[in-house]
Amino acid sequence: MKLDATDLRYITSDEFRVLTAVEMGSKNHEIVPTQLIVQISGLRNGGVNKNLGSLAKRNLVARVQNARYDGYRLTYGGYDYLAMRALSKRDSMYSVGNQIGVGKESDIYIVADSEGKEMVLKLHRLGRVSFRAIKEKRDYMGKRKSASWMYMSRLAAEKEWAFMSVLHEHGFPVPRPIDHARHCILMEFIDAYPLRQVADVPSPGKLYSDLMDVIVRFARAGLIHGDFNEFNILIRRDTGEPVVIDFPQMVSTSHFNAEMYFNRDVQCIRKYFRKRFRYESSIYPKFSSVQTGEGQGEEGEDFRLDVVVAASGFKQKDQEVLEEYMHTVSNEEPEDDEEDEEEGTEEDEEDEAEEAAAEEGEAQRGGADNGPESQSQHPPPNGSDDA
């Protein structure tokens, strides 16, 4: 998908208001009824329809007609737009360059600030695979089943932000986090190649032990990367030093499956070095030897970063929801989810009327750009607003 930064600066304030209204309505509706958009935006009917038309033309919303009502849904483009606009309003980024990565669950772009300094924008894309399995699990999605991709993508970004920040502060070799908004993270650009693309290294033994050291340092600080593979390790072009990326699946060493995750990370490196560099060592870290007590880490890590992250605002409950999602999709075949849309029940409709009234109050405050951003309003997993 093309991201056009010039667009960021040319949207009318009414269009922005309508787009924000669609986003708010999306908390409870995959397809937001036009009438609800009118209510939330606080604009006149005719104006809303005209703005919806122009937003749809730019693919920021999509019109959906279904059996019961006509409405609109926020597209990924619309969500991207809102996030990038927030970042650019606070001068974190200014322009968008080339796409450098397409993962299963993210898109990566080179962007720049107003001085032309390059950075990396990671847009999380959870929910590119089907949500059918998720929707069946109402116990943890609650009535918020329609929040799906927006909610999960935002959780992944929040988690990645929390971990990257704590790791960077504590001197781990990770990119410097710069800013985040909704499902997006802005970080330092690392001039590097993924290990996957590196055919030869001067000393495989040295790199191997550096990588195992990183795994051990993580664990001594209470953390396991969980996806420590040749795609998530970047090798700096100038120094050959490794930089670790991609944190949405990190777990604490107190996780009930910690040992499995730890061993999987270790084995991943062993296997890759054997295959790619024909390097094999009988020395590799064991989980039992890196475990630390609850409060204190060892050897220079003076505290448990899993505890620091938990205290940083990324809640345990959010972790659990995200983990359950990741677990579910890793067992699912990807499929087209376009037709997977689902409507609310009668009961939902009543809630919506109430929430629409509350939300209307918010929209009336007049299209503040940070909107839901600043208030951490992502829908709570169990439908209670105080989570």
Residue 189 binds which of ligand ADP, Mg ion, none (CB < 5-8 A, kind-dependent): ligand ADP
Residue 353 binds which of Mg ion, ligand ADP, none (CB < 5-8 A, kind-dependent): none
CA–CA gap between residue 100 and residue 364 (Å, rounded): 39
Supply the minimum distance, in Å, between the C-beta of residue 216 and Mg ion: 21
Residues of this chain, 245-274, that bind Mg ion according to CB under 5 A: 246
Residue 108 binds which of ligand ADP, Mg ion, none (CB < 5-8 A, kind-dependent): ligand ADP
- Selecting among 107, 227, 265, 318, the annotated active-site residue is 227
**Which residue in the set 106, 130, 146, 153 belongs to the binding site for ligand ADP (CB under 6 A)?**
106
Looking at the Cβ atoms of 80 and 230, the one nearer to Mg ion is 230
Looking at the Cβ atoms of 18 and 235, the one nearer to Mg ion is 235
**Which residue in the set 88, 153, 232, 252 belongs to the binding site for Mg ion (CB under 5 A)?**
232
Supply the minimum distance, in Å, between the C-beta of residue 84 and Mg ion: 21
Q: Is 165 in the site for ligand ADP (CB under 6 A)?
A: no
What per-residue string of b and e applies to 152-191 under the rule 16 or more CB within 10 Å gives b? bbbbbbbbbbbbbbbbbebebbbbebbbbbbbbbbbbbbe
CA–CA gap between residue 6 and residue 138 (Å, rounded): 40
List % helix, strand, coil for the chain (3-state, nearest 5). 45, 15, 40
CA–CA gap between residue 88 and residue 116 (Å, rounded): 13
The answer to whether 208 and 267 have CB atoms below 8 angstroms apart is: no
- Of 42-50, 105-113, 275-283, 364-372, the window that binds ligand ADP (rule: CB under 6 A) is 105-113
The answer to whether 61 and 76 have CB atoms below 8 angstroms apart is: no
CA–CA gap between residue 263 and residue 246 (Å, rounded): 18
**Which residue in the set 232, 252, 319, 328 belongs to the binding site for ligand ADP (CB under 6 A)?**
232
Residues forming beta bridges with residue 177, ordered by sequence position: 187
Q: Is 173 in the site for ligand ADP (CB under 6 A)?
A: no
Instruction: Examine the residue annotation and report whether 70 is marked as an active-site residue of this protein.
Output: no
Supply the minimum distance, in Å, between the C-beta of residue 252 and ligand ADP: 20
Q: How many other CB atoms sit within 10 Å of the CB of residue 4?
A: 14
Place of tokens 């009118």: 38
Residues of this chain, 115-134, that bind ligand ADP according to CB under 6 A: 120, 122
Looking at the Cβ atoms of 192 and 215, the one nearer to ligand ADP is 192
3 state SS of 32: strand
The answer to whether 182 and 86 have CB atoms below 8 angstroms apart is: yes
Catalytic residue positions, numbered: 227
Kindly list the residues in this chain that would bind Mg ion in the complex (CB under 5 A): 231-232, 246
Kindly list the residues in this chain that would bind ligand ADP in the complex (CB under 6 A): 100-101, 103, 105-106, 108, 120, 122, 175, 187-190, 192, 194, 231-232, 245-246
